[in-house]
Amino acid sequence: MGPGPAELRVWVDQDLCTGDGLCVQYAPEVFEFDVDGLAYVKDAAGELRLAPGSRVDVPAQLRSEVIDAARECPGECIHVLRGTDDVEVAGPEAT
């Protein structure tokens, strides 16, 4: 079974992160706090991606959790993009 049309990527804008932790509760496989108290995304190997704007693929089974995290985030700093065309589907720039 190949990848479906709903492949998503996610990144966190640390400048806006409030350290609330909702994202880590929703999807600890994707989001994690670093020592600075801000949330970052993790790649499939579990490595924190610390470079600003780093994007990781959203595991298919966690799509709804990651989208919920973006919608509920008080800092509005989580951006979920469609992998095919980079259109934001959840987060502050989603239509």
Strand partners, 39: 33
Dihedrals phi, psi of 17, to nearest 5 degrees: -65, 130
Give the pLDDT of residue 42.
97
The residues near 61 (Cβ < 8 Å, ≥ 6 apart) are none
Q: How far apart are CA 58 and CA 29, in angstroms?
A: 10
Consecutive sets of 10 residues in the chain, 95 residues long: mean pLDDT of each? Answer: 69 97 97 97 96 96 97 97 95 93
Reported pTM: 0.91
User: Which pLDDT value is given to residue 5?
Assistant: 52
pLDDT of residue 7: 92
pLDDT for res 95: 82
